[in-house]
A and B are shown apart, each in its own frame.
Chain A
Amino acid sequence: MKFFTPFRKKSPWILHYNAGSCNGCDIEILAALGPKFDLERFGAINTGNPKQSDIFLVTGPVTYRSRERLVELYTQIPEPKVVVAVGSCTDTGGVFRGMLNVEDGIDRYIPVDVYIPGCAASPQLIIDGLVKALEILETKSKAIEKPFKLFGAVQMIGTKLSRLNMAQRVRHDEN
């Protein structure tokens, strides 16, 4: 609805995911959320729950281990949503470019709206990037956004099968 759209900008809830970064950018994100740079003055909260977030902050080149989770988290965020890639290695691979166990950047898997450069990206830059992301968030519609299809058919079937197994392994009466 038109009336509610301006309020998207006023309450961005953040989901932060580390797709195999060196932790440099994670520390800078936490610095931006902390008392000195105080992202909460824009109404931002670090929710940690994809179902209640608007902004997906990703750090790190995608390692083979983390790519499934990256796509999974992305699809669990309800629209409208924006993706912010924090740090050089998230944008292009950075210092990890060409290594054998990483992909070069997250934009092979999910559509990225804002790229933040820097290794490590400074808190000021992260705040700038978030403000830019909020402008994009306001123009988005509620249409479903999908991750790119990059998993091969064999891998897809493998993932499905492994899920089946997981659903059996997690016992619900024992927690």
Chain B
Amino acid sequence: MIWVWILLAPLLGGLVYGGERVLRARMQRRQGPPFLQPFYDMFKLMDKRSLIVHAPHALLAVGHFFLLWVSVAAIFLGWNLLYIIFLHLFAQVVLILAGYSVRSVYSHLGANRELLALVAYEPILILVSVGFYLVSGSFEIGRILEGEGYLAQMPLLFAALLIIVPIKVKKSPFDVTEAHQEIVGGVEIEYSGVFYEFLYMARFLEYLFIYSFIFLFGGISYGVGAVLVAATFLLVNLVDNATARVRTGDMVKIVYGVAMSLAVINIVGILR
């Protein structure tokens, strides 16, 4: 049964992304695209001629997608949180290598920013999982989901996680890695056709990845987890519609200054 869900993970993420596009349109009082729009885009991209810069560049995108898929599968299977974070890190590193492997200035800029974003949010993810360990006594997702009371014991860690969610799902104010108006998508710029489709689907998996961290805060009561995910989803989109993009350096400063101190204060509080 769980394997079926793992196989369907990109489709599930696609539904989330489609719903999000409709929601954002409604927030701006527009009608918005159809709910299944991401799938139409995917099918259309299958039908395009693909221009390949060089083979490793194209393959790295495929590798990025499959590594992300493995890390999402590991979440579904209830593995160790640290493994999952490092698998995800590996997937990001592959993407960054892809960005540096072509001679396009925008692609290099995108890869630089991707690297900085990685440096910013990775410590927070690790601190959050350390928090889970301190409260539940295990890094295993299966064990974490049997405990409860995470939100009461780690409210500041939850706030820190909320700050980095926009970086992962590429939303304002922290969408510097994509930044369509400045660097035209960054790392994605040199991809076309089927290979762009892998990056497009990788984005769906990122949604599942980061929102499942939010879900963990519900613990044994899955209902609370679902409510938290829905509330975060609304909040992130509201903030996305209401704010402008900050600069890359400022993003790192905000994440290190605010999110990191929140996380450390909370962990110290749990330890005492």
A complexed with B: yes
**Looking at chain A, what size class is its interface with the partner chain?**
20 to 34
**Looking at chain B, what size class is its interface with the partner chain?**
35 or more
**Smallest CB gap from B28: residue in A:** A35
| A78 in contact (CB, < 8 A) | yes
Q: Which of B37, B109, B181 has the most CB of A within 10 A?
A: B37
- Additional 17 contacts, C-beta under 8 A, given A40-B33, A142-B49, A175-B108: A1-B46, A4-B44, A7-B43, A35-B29, A38-B31, A40-B21, A41-B31, A41-B34, A43-B37, A47-B185, A48-B181, A51-B190, A52-B188, A54-B48, A80-B47, A172-B105, A175-B105
Residues of B within 8 Å of A35, CB to CB, are 28-30
**Smallest CB gap from B36: residue in A:** A10
The SS class assigned to the A binding surface is loop
**8 Å CB contact of A7 from B30, B44, B108:** B44
| B50 in contact (CB, < 8 A) | yes
Q: Take A41-B30, A170-B105, A175-B108 as given contacts and tell me if A8 and B185 are in contact as well, using a CB distance cutoff of 8 Å.
A: no
Q: Are B48 and A78 interface neighbours, CB within 8 A?
A: yes
Q: Take A43-B34, A172-B103, A175-B109 as given contacts and tell me if A54 and B44 are in contact as well, using a CB distance cutoff of 8 Å.
A: yes
Residues of B within 8 Å of A18, CB to CB, are none
**Which stretch from B59-67, B145-153, B191-199 is at the chain A interface?**
B191-199
| A21 in contact (CB, < 8 A) | no
Residues of A within 8 Å of B193, CB to CB, are 78
Binary flags per residue of B2-34, CB closer than 8 Å to A gives 1, else 0: 000000000000000000010001001111111
Q: Are A49 and B109 interface neighbours, CB within 8 A?
A: no
Chain A min CB distance to B6 (Å): 25
Query: Can you list 19 pairs linking A and B with CB atoms under 8 Å apart?
Result: A3-B43, A4-B44, A10-B37, A13-B41, A38-B30, A40-B33, A43-B40, A47-B185, A51-B189, A54-B44, A78-B48, A78-B193, A79-B48, A79-B49, A80-B49, A142-B47, A142-B48, A172-B105, A175-B109
**8 Å CB contact of B189 from A1, A7, A11, A49:** A49
Residues of A within 8 Å of B34, CB to CB, are 10, 41, 43
Determine the distance from Cα of A13 to Cα of B196 in the docked complex, in whole angstroms: 13
Residues of A within 8 Å of B40, CB to CB, are 7, 10-11, 43
Binary flags per residue of A51-79, CB closer than 8 Å to B gives 1, else 0: 11010000000000000000000001011
**Smallest CB gap from A142: residue in B:** B49
Determine the distance from Cα of A133 to Cα of B40 in the docked complex, in whole angstroms: 18
Q: Are A48 and B47 interface neighbours, CB within 8 A?
A: no
**8 Å CB contact of A4 from B47, B103, B105, B188:** B47
Chain B min CB distance to A7 (Å): 4
Determine the distance from Cα of A7 to Cα of B47 in the docked complex, in whole angstroms: 9
| A5 in contact (CB, < 8 A) | yes
Q: Take A4-B46, A52-B196, A172-B105 as given contacts and tell me if A41 and B180 are in contact as well, using a CB distance cutoff of 8 Å.
A: no
**8 Å CB contact of A78 from B51, B185, B189:** B51
Q: Which 5 A-B pairs have the closest CB atoms?
A: A7-B43, A51-B192, A4-B47, A10-B40, A78-B49
**Smallest CB gap from A46: residue in B:** B180
Residues of A within 8 Å of B227, CB to CB, are none
**Smallest CB gap from A6: residue in B:** B43
Q: Are B33 and A41 interface neighbours, CB within 8 A?
A: yes
